[in-house]
Amino acid sequence: MLIQEVINDIEAAGIATFGVDMFGSLYPADAPTKCILIRESSGPQPEKELPIRYYMIQVLSRALYYPVANEKSWEIYKRYHGERGAGGQWVAPHNYSLGDYYIQASRALQIPSDMSPDERGRSEVTFNIEFTVRI
């Protein structure tokens, strides 16, 4: 499943550790205040003509204070959406593998945004990533 490959990649990049400060699908009851959640989300209409599939992954970052949650979201955002290179040109990730998935392109659909505090007053920041996968 692509969600597991994304979790593995985030862990390999040293951004978070699965089961410690990163979880998949839902937060466990004993999740720490500062953590991230990776979950599948609905994507666009399936492609009928080309050998590709679109996958949508939602990233949620939670922390006691908004700047901390926001900073962690931006680390993941840059990993899959890209960032400006030294010459000022946008460097977007494309044509790479995550496990057995060949990613033609990945892009965030919005910048990390405040979701408002959760029921315990912790800040949550979220964004969605669309992965275009060759099948």
Domain locations along the chain? 2-134
Residue 67 CA to residue 99 CA, distance in Å, equals: 32
How does residue 34 score in pLDDT terms, banded at 50, 70 and 90? very high
In the chain, % of residues over pLDDT 70: 100
> At residue 104, what are phi and psi to the nearest 5 degrees?
-75, -35
Q: Rounded mean pLDDT of the chain?
A: 93
Q: Reduce the DSSP state of residue 62 to 3 states and report it.
A: strand
Residue 124 CA to residue 3 CA, distance in Å, equals: 20
> At residue 106, what are phi and psi to the nearest 5 degrees?
-140, 140
Paired residues of 52 in beta bridges: 134
- Assign domain 2-134 one CATH number from 3.90.1300.10, 3.50.50.60, 3.40.50.720, 3.30.2000.30: 3.30.2000.30
Q: Which residue has the tokens 């400006």?
A: 84
Stretch 105-124: mean pLDDT: 94
Residue 3 has pLDDT above 80, yes or no: yes
Quick: pLDDT tens for 58-87: 999 999 999 999 999 999 999 999 888 788
How does residue 48 score in pLDDT terms, banded at 50, 70 and 90? confident
Stretch 92-119: mean pLDDT: 93
Tokens of residue 12, six digits: 């390999």
| pLDDT value at residue 59 | 98
